[in-house]
Amino acid sequence: MKGDIGVIGLAVMGQNLILNMNDHGYKVVAHNRTAEKVDEFLQGPAKGTNIVGAYSLQELVDKLESPRKIMLMVRAGDVVDSFIDKLVPLLDKGDIIIDGGNTNFPDTNRRVAALKEKGIHFIGSGVSGGEEGARFGPSIMPGGSPEAWPFVKPIFQAISAKTENDEPCCDWVGNDGAGHFVKMVHNGIEYGDMQLITEAYQFMKDGLGMTHDEMQSVFIEWNKTELNSYLVEITSDILGYKDTDGEPLVEKILDTAGQKGTGKWTGINALDMGIPLTLITESVFARCLSSLKDQRVEAEELFGKKESIVEGDKQVWIEALRQALLASKIISYAQGFMLMREASNENGWDLNYGNVALMWRGGCIIRSAFLSNIRDAYDIDPELSFLGSDSYFKGILENSMSAWRKVAAKSMDVGIPMPSMTSALTFLDGYTTARLPANLLQAQRDYFGAHTYERVDKPKGEFFHTNWTGKGGDVSSTTYNS
Ligand code: NBP
């Protein structure tokens, strides 16, 4: 009997996805560049299963049922292109190549188009959930050649995580690089969620002087509220984890955050598309700032930074902080969905936002109860332009406003950096202000560069230039927006 699917790449993700597929009754053919890893896998974790090995790409292709489905779980970038180049001459028209790595979506756009010309279908799929997700149920976000989806759907939906209603956290996202785009935004949102939690932690630790056991208890309690999520849950575990000397391990970890690029890509895309994705972008910059450790140590000494004590009832502050965190999180998701909406419109992807929320509901790092509410919001209004306008989320934003402002103002007052929580509030203040000071900005642009402006008392699209100093000419600059 031939194999149902081939997987190339036997590192942590590939091995665990293969074992997951095997558990669900699929016969998997496994290949890896370094052939010894095939043997190690077959004699190790795959021993006693139906998984078979292939020591060359020709052997892999020969062992698969038509149309062949070959999934790459290798390092993103050139490695994917190199496998595609080697596979194409061995494949038949209608065969399917799937890239399950963390690929930047323009690469997927390019590969879908190039392979289409050769009669090969290509799927670019985000896979989230790390090692455990891959093994027992990841969130899977596939996009690319729609013709390929019916062949891949049963396998992907079988191995994916399921919601409490047994719905698979995997569905077709859209054409071209839509799957990898949505995975990129997922990762951006993950940056935002993590940053928000760290800001709450610093406020509690430095501002309120709380112990790690106290903070752990707070996160345990928060996890029973609307903040219920994987990241809040693991934060409570981390805060309670003691090093061999009985001290909290988290305080022994160097405060410089790493990043692999997906948050940065999300921010770059937001700038390219003109979407104010302020919270996620602040989260990326917060990681950049954290990496300037030596400079920060010197600057703290230079500025003689004072302790950041927050006075007042601790319990009241903790509840205010919870509300500020929740409200900021709503803004982060609202901005992320604005970005997806713009990308969907620009690329003709026709994204289903409720389905996206469902795909993130289980298996992935940002899984949370909150995503069910997002799904409900898009079920009510599939074209919702701002998540905060949905009645459920609007209610939370309104109820949290006073506590959120209190926390933001206090953080500024005592010097605790909370870039994501404060930028989220600033965004909402801007978004809910009918008249912003951009009129003055337009005047400045026209003053120094004759960039023209529109008037409130004239139809939109009619542009004016004023000779502000009496010294300039009447010629204006060309009017366009980049
Ligand atoms: P890695 O990203 O570490 O990639 C390892 C695989 O790439 C091995 O099969 C390795 O073969 C192969 N490879 C490399 Br590296 N360079 C190669 C080359 N020049 N030619 C051929 N093969 C090459 O594995 P991973 O952590 O399992 O991740 C796989 C994909 O999934 C990546 O795109 C990753 O970003 C993504 N992802 C990872 C996670 C996670 O939690 N790790 C989560 C979600 C998505 P070799 O054995 O011969 O060196």
Tell me the pLDDT tens digit for each residue of 146-199. 999 999 999 999 999 999 899 999 999 999 999 999 999 999 999 999 999 999
Q: Which of 190, 199, 226, 282 is catalytic?
A: 190
Q: Does 75 sit in the ligand 1 pocket, CB within 6 Å?
A: yes
How much distance in Å is there from the Cα of 11 to the middle of ligand 1?
6
Say whether pLDDT at 396 is over 80: yes
The three-state secondary structure class of 457 is coil
Q: What is the pLDDT of residue 305?
A: 86
Is residue 478 over pLDDT 80?
A: no
For residue 258, the model assigns a pLDDT of 87
Minimal-distance CA residue to ligand 1 atom 12: 74
Mean pLDDT, range 370-387, rounded to an integer? 96
Q: Rounded distance, CA 240 to CA 56, Å?
A: 48
Nearest-CA residue for atom 17 of ligand 1: 79
Ligand 1 touching residue 133 (CB < 6 A): no
- Is pLDDT above 90 for 476? no
| Span from the CA of 459 to the centroid of ligand 1 (angstroms) | 56
User: Which tens digits make up the pLDDT trace of 42-101?
Assistant: 999 999 999 999 999 999 999 999 999 999 999 999 999 999 999 999 999 999 999 999
Question: Does the Cβ of 79 fall within 6 Å of ligand 1?
Answer: yes
**Residue 419 banded pLDDT, cuts 50, 70, 90:** very high
Q: What residue owns the CA closest to ligand 1's atom 43? A: 130
Tell me the angle at which helices 391-414 and 419-431 cross, rounded to the nearest 10 degrees.
130
Mean pLDDT of 383-407: 97
The token pair that represents 173 in the structure block = 């996202």
Q: In testing the pocket of ligand 1, which one of 74, 99, 125 has its CB within 8 Å of the most ligand atoms?
A: 74
DSSP 311: P
Q: Is 35 in the pocket of ligand 1 (CB under 6 A)?
A: no
The whole-chain average pLDDT of the chain stands at 96
Active-site residue (options: 27, 183, 205, 410): 183
Ramachandran angles phi, psi of 402, nearest 5°: -70, -40
Gap from CA of 125 to ligand 1 centroid (Å): 15
pLDDT at residue 203 greater than cutoff 90 = yes
User: Nearest C-alpha to atom 35 of ligand 1 is from which residue?
Assistant: 102
> What tokens appear for 264 in the block?
């940065």
CA 74 – ligand 1 centroid, Å? 3
Is 190 among the catalytic positions? Answer: yes
Axis-axis angle for helices 178-202, 262-273 (nearest 10): 110
**Is pLDDT at 474 greater than 80 in this prediction?**
no
Cα–Cα distance list, 250 to 255, 422, 459 (Å): 10, 25, 59
Helices (H), 313-369: 314-347, 353-359
- The arithmetic mean of pLDDT across residues 212-223, rounded, is 98
9 CA from centroid of ligand 1 (Å): 6
**pLDDT tens per residue across span 243-277:** 999 999 999 999 999 888 889 999 999 999 999 99
Query: Is there a catalytic annotation at residue 183?
Result: yes
DSSP state of 88: G
Q: Does the beta carbon of 29 sit less than 6 angstroms from any atom of ligand 1?
A: no
Task: Report pLDDT for 441.
Answer: 98
